[in-house]
Amino acid sequence: MDVKAVLQFAATTRCATLILQAVLNAAIPDHEADAFRPPWIEEPLYLDSTVTWLFSGLSRWDAEHFLFIAERGYLYEHNFAFFPLFPIILRGLAETVLWPLSTWLSVRGRLLVAVALGNTALFLLSVVALHALGRIVLQDRRLALLSSLLYCFTPANVFMTAGYSESLFAALTFGGLYLLEKGFTLRACLALSIATAARSNGLVNIGFLLYLPSLYALSQIRVYRTTAKGYAKIFHYIFVIIRLLFTSLLGTTIIALPFVAFQYYGYRTFCTPSLSLERIPPALLSLAERKGYRVPDENGPPPLWCLRSLPMLYSHIQDVYWDVGFLRYFELKQIPNFILALPMATLGIMAAYAYFQANPELCLRLGLWETNENKGLDKPIPGFFNPRVFVS
């Protein structure tokens, strides 16, 4: 019943968000920002204007990149800041489930519909995965239900609805962490690896992979310390350590592989290009010249980043196009964004402090071995202060 209630609430909030974005998008003029807005090259078909009116609010800001990649591929250099899994899913929906609408909707129109349908389904999957993860980590059915409902009602829901990869990434990450908590390490690695194909943040999930098997290995060592003797104890220790190292190395490789493969694809696209400018639609080439976007050109010189000892396109894009670097974000003009983030940052700090107050020894020892306060406890206290919440 809990899952059904959460799904009903999630579906209701998603429908309300879609309706609200359509109304507000029609009522409030768009802000004229210097953002990526490629021209619509295709001839509009019968239903394109209706779909644009209903769902164009889902295509603002970074969503334009995902839609453009789904339609045209990785043409511009800065498109490579956006990972390929979500555009692949959008294009797949447009060419399969929505193909019967191709007479009335252009590719762009079908992609907008795919955003609405696809992200709705992915968001519902992320809710189910979060609820399952909450049940096993919090060990409190009521709190797991409440956290899932709050997740549905978060102001960040707008990013989970628009043409961003957040819903996809959340579903894969929550699902991967659930599998990891259940002890299905290989399946968890595969889910987290697919998450890395959706967002570069997926590399952070390697930390979960390294932590939870380490926790399990230490628990096994504690068991062998009391049950095994002599050479058997040494053998068990060596076996546990080798298994931990193998699991960590293999899992890290699996999770990082999509990121490495995507960087290699970017290198091949721009450092050894096979595309000539004549094959690029004139409107898109004109946009590149007007905005200074780099396109692959087999007759032109390679970009400077190709000559580096580690030619990584992603770091080049973050540095040149988005001015991302150590402490660069801390500027006076960013004060409104800091104020906007202050409520959630405050809640997060307060929650971390409360958890530390309740489990000081656990936090200081990183939860990797027993503390004096939980020795002898057959069952940890359920809820937010449960020791399993520490790494989550």
- What DSSP element (H or E) covers 265? helix 230-271
Based on the fold, state whether residues 98 and 36 are members of the same structural domain: yes
In a domain, 177, yes or no: yes
CA 189/CA 176 separation, integer angstroms: 7
**End-of-domain residue from the set 320, 353, 382:** 320
Regarding whether 12 and 128 lie in a shared domain, the answer is yes
Q: Which two tokens stand for residue 150?
A: 């709050």
Return the SS3 of 101.
helix
Rounded to an integer, what distance in angstroms lies between the CA atom of residue 116 and that of residue 271?
36
Beta strand residue intervals within 221-276, DSSP E:
none
Residue type, 288: A
pLDDT score for 125: 94
Number of folded domains in the chain?
Answer: 3
What pLDDT, on a 0 to 100 scale, did the predictor assign at position 377? Answer: 45
38 plus 139 within the same structural domain? yes
- Residues 313, 346, single domain; the answer is no
Per cent of the chain over pLDDT 90 is 32
169 and 102 belong to one structural domain: yes
Domain assignment present for 249: no
Q: Are residues 153 and 31 in the same domain?
A: yes
Same domain, 38 and 141: yes
Determine the Cα–Cα distance for residues 226 and 157; give it in Å rounded to an integer.
50
Which is nearest to 284 in space by CA: 115, 137, 133, 69?
69
Tell me how long the chain is.
392
The total of other beta-carbon atoms located within 10 Å of residue 303's CB is: 16
pLDDT < 50 stretches in the chain: 376-378
Chain-centroid distance, C-alpha 36? 21
In a domain, 372, yes or no: yes
Residues 331 and 361 in one domain: yes
Same domain, 164 and 297: no
Residue ending a domain, choose from 283, 298, 320: 320
Residue range of the domain that includes 123: 1-181
Give per-residue pLDDT as tens, 237-291.
777 788 878 888 898 999 999 999 999 999 999 998 888 888 888 888 888 888 8
3 state DSSP class of 136:
helix
Q: What is the pLDDT of residues 169-182, one digit of tens each?
A: 999 999 999 998 88
pLDDT at 232: 64
Instruction: State the first-to-last Cα distance of the chain, in angstroms, to the nearest integer.
Output: 25
Same domain as 134, residue 33: yes
